[in-house]
Amino acid sequence: MTPRRPERSEAKSRDLFVHRQKMGPSAALGATVGRRSFLAGAITVVPFAAHATPDALAAAVKEVTGGSPVHEGKVKLDIPPLVENGNAVPLTVKVDSPMTPDDHVKAIHVFNEKNPQPHVFNAWLSPANGRALVSTRIKLADSQKVVAIAETSTGEFWSAHTDVIVTIAACVEDVT
C-alpha cells in the first residue's frame, strides 16, 4: 500500500503525467494490472481474434479493383492526423473529377489496415452528385493507415492514403 501523503491541495502528484508509448494490449476485464500500466493507457480492448493485416487490406482492395492498377492521385483523403478518440473519426474523401456522364467517379471505397476487418465503406456516385465528395465518421481501433480508392466511369482506379495516430481515453469506464 502506498503511504498516505499529507492532504495539501498544492501537493504535486508524482511525475506520472508524461506521454508514454502505447503499450501492447492489456486485459481490460478482470486481470490484475499494475498502476503504471493503467496510467500508460494500455486499456485497449483488442479482440483476441483476427486483426486486419496489410495482407487483408491488399486483398480487400483487390476485390474491388480486380487486379487493375491503382494510381496515386486525384483523391484527397481528409482525416485528422491525430485523433482524440478512435470511436468517431471525421473523414472526407474528395475526388478531382468533372462528374460528367463521360467522366465521373462511379464509386469510392475506403479501407483500413488494423481494424478487425479491412472495410470502412463503399459509396456509389453518379453525375447526379455534381461533386465527388463523401463525408462520414469512422471507427479506428488503433493508429493505422487508411486508404481511399476512387473508381471512375472510364475504368480507372485512383487512390490516396493517410497514416492516422489514434489516442484513447485514459480512464476506463467499467460498464457494469
Partner 1 sequence: MRGLPSAAMLLAVFTGSLALAQGDGRRSGYQDMGPALQKMQDDDTANPAMLFVQAGETLWNEKAGTAGKSCADCHNDAIVSMKGVAARYPAVAGETGKPVDLEGRINLCRATYQQAPALAPESDDLLALSTYVALQSRGQPVAPPNDLQLAALRAKGAGIYRQRQGQLNLSCANCHDDNPEKKLAGATIPQGHPTGYPIYRLEWQTLGSLKRRLRNCVVGLRAEPWPYDADEYLALESYLMERARGMAMDAPAVRP
Partner 2 sequence: MANVLVSAPKTAKKGQVVEIKALIMHVMETGFRPGTNGRIIPRNIIQDFSATWNGREIFRMKMSPAIAANPFVSFSAVASESGTIAFRWSGDEGFLAEHQVAITVT
**Which chain residues interact with partner 1 by CB under 8 A?**
2, 4-5, 7, 9, 12-13, 17-20, 22, 35, 38-42, 80, 82-85, 87-90, 137, 167-174
Which of partner 1, partner 2, none does residue 54 bind to, with CB < 5 to 8 Å depending on kind?
Answer: none
Q: Are 86 and 139 in contact (CB under 8 A)?
A: yes
Which of partner 2, partner 1, none does residue 126 bind to, with CB < 5 to 8 Å depending on kind?
Answer: partner 2
87 binds partner 2 (CB under 8 A): yes
Contact string 105-144 vs partner 2 (x = CB under 8 A): -------x--xxx-xxxxxxxxxxxxx-xxxxxxxx----
Number of residues that make up the chain: 176
Q: Considering the complex, what minimum distance in angstroms separates the CB of residue 53 from partner 1?
A: 24
Q: Are 64 and 155 in contact (CB under 8 A)?
A: no
102 binds partner 2 (CB under 8 A): no
Closer residue to partner 1 in complex, CB, 17/124: 17
Stretch that binds partner 2, among 66-74, 84-92, 149-157, 163-171 (CB under 8 A): 84-92
Binding footprint of partner 2 on the chain (CB under 8 A)? 29-30, 45, 47, 49, 87-89, 92, 112, 115-117, 119-131, 133-140, 175-176
